[in-house]
Amino acid sequence: MSLDLAAASALSGDLALKVRAGGDVIKPVADKVNGLYCNRAVVVKIDQENGFGGPVRYAVKSDKAYMRVRDLVLHSCDPSTGVCTKLEGDPAFYTDASGYIHFTADMGGWLVISEYELARK
């Protein structure tokens, strides 16, 4: 994670820096997303719900790093329903040799990286 410290320091309260893309916390939401949509997708949980006061560069390890970067789309996700909404702007996706997907987002909370626009089953 890379963020603008000046923008983040202007926020009130503590910052939650944990970012997850797997494990027991992710699985129930990933199951909902995979039940609704036919795309390959990576579910990401960023504990800072309201963002960090500006764009943040994230890197998440994923077994789906083989997805083509030019086809990736970033969404916010309602964890109670699995319903996703496409986020506007350019997330500047890229992958590295270690299998990390890198992207930029202005918000935290639940995010979904999908291959192509999400299509309902």
> Over the stretch 43-66, which tens digit does the pLDDT of each residue have?
999 988 777 778 889 999 887 666
Backbone torsions φ then ψ of 104, nearest 5 degrees: -115, 140
Q: Which domain holds residue 75?
A: 2-115
Tell whether 34 is covered by a domain.
yes
pLDDT per position as a tens digit, 9-44: 777 777 777 788 888 999 999 999 999 999 999 999
Tell whether 121 is covered by a domain.
no
Measuring CA to CA, which residue among 46, 60, 40 is closest to residue 118?
A: 40
Tell whether 120 is covered by a domain.
no
The residue type found at 120 is R
Tell whether 86 is covered by a domain.
yes
Tell whether 67 is covered by a domain.
yes
Tell whether 63 is covered by a domain.
yes
Query: pTM of the full predicted structure?
Result: 0.87
Number of compact structural domains in the chain: 1
Tell whether 45 is covered by a domain.
yes
